[in-house]
Chain A
Amino acid sequence: MEPILKVEHMEKYYGSRGSVTKAVDDISFEVRAGEFVGIMGASGSGKTTLLNCLSTIDAVTAGHIYLEERDITCLKSGQLSAFRRRKLGFIFQDFNLLDTLTAYENIALALTIVRTPASEIDVRVRQVAKELEIGDILEKYPYEISGGQKQRVACARAIVTKPTLILADEPTGALDSKSSRMLLESLETLNKNLLATILMVTHDAFTASYCRRILFLRDGKIFNEIVRGDNTRKQFFSRIIEVQTLLGGDNSNVL
């Protein structure tokens, strides 16, 4: 299958002459349609910078990012927001739901931003809500529902516009383990049933174990890559821990 996301020699430097921090240092990888990819790494490894660049919130210093063969590093600022709303869906760590809107309206908001006809909105919101099992809380406000439910509403908001790529930034960061599991199972369902392509950033091995493939970042570089293949989730989890041990061990040698 064709890769829908292609990152080529991407670099992102912060600071000016004299003291340059290489947050992302010459990274290249591909994501194919329908993949569920995880990006892991410790704090400061460059995960968030990478995600910000992918989501066009931040600009790269060098290199190219192609989404459906379009180079998004060359987009003008006017095109950027158009690109963002058509091609990308976001899931944030702190849900980022609008507290003034009901769950239904939060999901519908993403559709109104892409100017979906009003007649279509209801069908699509209810469809995605059914998929994520939040049909019965649609009329509630964010403060009335649990964290897990909030995050699933956020998922629904991300998927409802049928984006090419869903970017999830530590989606389980603010959830307890039970809610985390439910959310990740939802993401898996989205990935399998609706063939959504998901790129998830996390530092939690359990969360990462739901992915099909994991890229490990360290100091702005890809350190390792593992594929789940036919492994059960538990086996995959053990492998992730192994890599993390390696990463940690190596770290102490570096220091």
Chain B
Amino acid sequence: MFFKLVFKNVTKSMRDYTIYFLTLLFGVCLFYMFNSIDAQTSLLKLSEDRRDLSQTLIRTMDYISVFISVVLGFLVVYANGFLMKRRKHELGVYMVLGMPKSKIPILITLETFLIGMVSLAAGLVLGVFASQGMSVVTARLFEADMTSFRFIFSQSAFRKTLLYFGIIFLVVILFNVLSVSRVKLISLLNAGRKNQKFHIRRLWVSVLVFLLSVACLAAAYRMVIKSGLSSSTPWFTASIVLGCAGTLLFFLSLSGLLLRAVQSNRKLYFRNLNMFVLRQFHSKINTTFVSVSVICLMLFFTISALSVGIGVSGSLSADLKETTPFDASLEYFYHAYDADKQIRSLAQQLKNDGIDLDRYAERCGQVTCYVLTNGKENNIGIGSLMCKDDAGQLPEEQMDAMPLTVISLSDCNRLLSLQGKPPVSLGKSQYAVFCNYQKLMPLYNRFLRRGGSFSYGGKTPVPARDTILEEALLDMSTKSNSGTLIVPDSFLRLPGVEIESEILNIQYRQDVSDAEFLQVLDHVYTKEARARHAVSRPYDYYNTKVGLYRRASGNAAIGSYLTLYVGLVFLIAAAAVLALQQLSEASDNTERYGLLRRLGAEDTMVNHALFLQIALYFLLPLLLAVVHSAVGIHVATSELNLSGLDVRQSSFITAIIILVVYGAYFLATYFGSKNMIRQKEIYRR
């Protein structure tokens, strides 16, 4: 009999709380899907660097999954609390009928366990099937061909899902047992009744709070647009704090303002059940404005993350074209133990090790980098090429002490001609500056325009041109040349000028591929050979154009995968919380809607009112989130500075995802609420 009761309750709950189960189902399904990437990629034929990339993705997914499971855990506990609240009366009846108090926690435990098992099993089945579809996307992401379809089952994802959700359900059971065993019978039976007071704020208070919220939001938008996403400035943090506060105040004041605004238009206020709907909305917002604000911020995160995240995968850094002017670059740093700090020819050393560059390179050019020391081993910093009062504008503190790299005019012109660019000419006591680090460029330019000079070794060269040259010394992933000084060759013979590093830039021959060249390097300088000190590489690291492009696109792909994962979970969590809140409200409000019917309101009128009420709850946080996101996306795209980043397309995809998931929850909530109202009505008859 006891178990029969458990089974009956579970099947009844399944029907009544469809949304709860759907959310559990989706949660489990998503969790499995994204954690099964290891199995999905293990079947793909991946190139070496893609293999590394997939490993990074799997590792990152591990960490993210912990975070996600915490989010889902909170969601499940919250949703379950709602379910329990609705069942308190039922539990009270069991106790009145003589069920011993000790048995009720057992009943609840069994029920929760059963519900957990069912949703876990269903979610896993759904997840296994969905991951088949996802593996196609994964294959495309890693640029691997899906040669043949194979059914994929990830044991590790399976175990992980079982473990994480097992823990979540354990916590839920604990919560339930605690909440049931502590409660008194009378409060169980009277759980349906409640006494709520409605505090109506004065109009001017609402208006004031609303204006304050708009001011907060406007200030937050302005700050973040002006300062960008760099967390090093206090403006970014301030904009986040202001944004959150503004959102809270917005929802705190909105219902009151809306109510008063519509009230002032009597025609609108007294049309249909508008009055009723607005009052309903207003009466609840006082208790729900915090959760609505949180939901709004979650939606904001989802929308901007999805829009930017999906967009990023299809685009590459626009900078990459400018930061990779060569097919390959090798760099060697002189060490303290390099006794003879003489210029070494990297090409010659490669040749000694059996690599004839002429066979691979159309052209190549070596650049030697120096630093200026003033005797006491103190390097001359980049600050010496800037106006004194500009030091405060540097992106980081004490950046002006960063050593200034110096190259000779002849190296400089070799570098430029390798790129097919016109050479630079300098007078005997003149200098020029290379820089492509965005934030430092204006500082150098100001110095150059003023004809600023510096003195070193008894010389005070003056600028040859009044602007810097936006050049990189070698292939890099970002524009990070923070300043290179170009001086006549003779300048470098001054005492105190120390050699720092060698850079060899290479342009391949037409018939040589990147892979071919790197293979030769790897073949000669194998790890074992280097470990045995049989060979030593004449360079410390290399960057190649192809490699940098691949790495960038791979990182973008990982980023978009992760944002999709987190974004979807957030979206589901936000929608589910809203839906559950509305459903609990509809059950609380059944009597109110029933009364409307008894007063003779038509079904269409009542349904319309219900629709409007739920739509208000779903739409308002979404609307503000869209406004937030518009600003967020604007800032993010201008910050990322990516070419081919088409946010319009990805925003469109995001809109569809939101529409489908959020819309589904909205409709489920509406029809669920409608059923609840209707059921009660039938029961009354």
Asked if B602 contacts A81 (CB within 8 A), the reply is yes
Asked if B198 contacts A100 (CB within 8 A), the reply is yes
A101-137 Cβ-contact flags toward B at 8 Å (1 or 0): 1000100111111111011011000000000000000
A81-98 residues with Cβ-Cβ distance < 8 A to B are: 81-86, 88, 90, 96, 98
Nearest CB on B from A57, distance (A): 7
User: What is the CA–CA distance of A143 and B282 in the complex, to the nearest angstrom?
Assistant: 16
Segment with Cβ contacts to A, from B117-125, B566-574, B591-599, B663-671: B591-599
User: What is the CA–CA distance of A101 and B196 in the complex, to the nearest angstrom?
Assistant: 13
Asked if B599 contacts A113 (CB within 8 A), the reply is yes
Interface: B269 (CB within 8 A) = yes
Asked if B279 contacts A81 (CB within 8 A), the reply is no
| With A57-B685, A109-B599, A113-B601: A101-B197 Cβ-Cβ less than 8 Å | no
Nearest CB on A from B114, distance (A): 35
With a cutoff of 8 Å between Cβ atoms, the chain A residues found around residue B283 in the complex are 99-100
User: What is the CA–CA distance of A115 and B273 in the complex, to the nearest angstrom?
Assistant: 10
Asked if B280 contacts A100 (CB within 8 A), the reply is yes
Asked if B600 contacts A81 (CB within 8 A), the reply is yes
Asked if B595 contacts A96 (CB within 8 A), the reply is yes
B276-313 residues with Cβ-Cβ distance < 8 A to A are: 276, 279-280, 282-283
Interface: B603 (CB within 8 A) = yes
User: What is the CA–CA distance of A105 and B198 in the complex, to the nearest angstrom?
Assistant: 15
Asked if B599 contacts A85 (CB within 8 A), the reply is yes
Q: Which residue of B lies closest to A55 (CB)?
A: B598
| With A57-B685, A100-B198: A112-B597 Cβ-Cβ less than 8 Å | no
Asked if A101 contacts B279 (CB within 8 A), the reply is yes
User: What is the CA–CA distance of A118 and B275 in the complex, to the nearest angstrom?
Assistant: 12
Asked if A105 contacts B602 (CB within 8 A), the reply is no
Task: Give the number of residues in A that approach B within 8 Å (Cβ atoms).
Answer: 34
Interface: B266 (CB within 8 A) = yes
B86-140 residues with Cβ-Cβ distance < 8 A to A are: none
With a cutoff of 8 Å between Cβ atoms, the chain B residues found around residue A57 in the complex are 598, 684-685
With a cutoff of 8 Å between Cβ atoms, the chain A residues found around residue B274 in the complex are 112
User: What is the CA–CA distance of A141 and B195 in the complex, to the nearest angstrom?
Assistant: 13
Interface: A58 (CB within 8 A) = yes
Asked if A113 contacts B267 (CB within 8 A), the reply is no
Number of A-B contacts (CB under 8 A): 84
Q: Which residue of B lies closest to A101 (CB)?
A: B279
With a cutoff of 8 Å between Cβ atoms, the chain A residues found around residue B266 in the complex are 118-119, 121-122
Asked if B275 contacts A112 (CB within 8 A), the reply is yes
Nearest CB on A from B117, distance (A): 40
With a cutoff of 8 Å between Cβ atoms, the chain A residues found around residue B402 in the complex are none
With a cutoff of 8 Å between Cβ atoms, the chain A residues found around residue B598 in the complex are 55, 57, 84, 90, 96
Asked if B270 contacts A108 (CB within 8 A), the reply is yes
With a cutoff of 8 Å between Cβ atoms, the chain A residues found around residue B271 in the complex are 112, 118
With a cutoff of 8 Å between Cβ atoms, the chain A residues found around residue B238 in the complex are none
User: What is the CA–CA distance of A10 and B283 in the complex, to the nearest angstrom?
Assistant: 44
With a cutoff of 8 Å between Cβ atoms, the chain A residues found around residue B597 in the complex are 81
Asked if A118 contacts B600 (CB within 8 A), the reply is no
Q: Which residue of A lies closest to B601 (CB)?
A: A113
Asked if A105 contacts B275 (CB within 8 A), the reply is yes
Interface: B272 (CB within 8 A) = yes
User: What is the CA–CA distance of A100 and B280 in the complex, to the nearest angstrom?
Assistant: 6
Q: Which residue of A lies closest to B265 (CB)?
A: A118
Nearest CB on B from A92, distance (A): 8
Centre residue among A96, A98, A115, A143 by max chain B CB count within 10 A:
A98
Interface: B605 (CB within 8 A) = yes
| With A99-B198, A112-B272, A112-B273: A88-B279 Cβ-Cβ less than 8 Å | no
Nearest CB on B from A73, distance (A): 16
User: Which residue of B272, B592, B601, B603 contacts A85 across the interface (Cβ within 8 Å)?
Assistant: B601
| With A113-B601, A113-B605: A121-B270 Cβ-Cβ less than 8 Å | yes
Asked if A112 contacts B280 (CB within 8 A), the reply is no
A57-95 residues with Cβ-Cβ distance < 8 A to B are: 57-58, 78, 81-86, 88, 90
With a cutoff of 8 Å between Cβ atoms, the chain A residues found around residue B198 in the complex are 99-100, 141, 143
B590-629 Cβ-contact flags toward A at 8 Å (1 or 0): 0110011111111101000000000000000000000000
With a cutoff of 8 Å between Cβ atoms, the chain A residues found around residue B591 in the complex are 96
The interface of chain A, by Cβ under 8 A from chain B, is 55, 57-58, 78, 81-86, 88, 90, 96, 98-101, 105, 108-116, 118-119, 121-122, 141, 143, 157
Given contacts A100-B283, A109-B599, A113-B600, 19 further A-B contacts (CB under 8 A): A55-B598, A57-B598, A78-B602, A82-B600, A82-B602, A84-B598, A85-B600, A90-B598, A98-B276, A99-B196, A100-B198, A100-B282, A101-B275, A110-B599, A112-B272, A113-B605, A118-B269, A143-B195, A143-B198
**13 A-B pairs in the complex with CB atoms less than 8 angstroms apart:** A58-B685, A78-B602, A81-B601, A82-B602, A84-B598, A88-B600, A98-B276, A98-B279, A99-B283, A100-B283, A109-B273, A109-B276, A112-B270
Q: Kindly list the 4 A-B residue pairs having the minimum CB-CB distance in the complex, ordered from nearest.
A: A85-B600, A84-B600, A100-B279, A118-B270
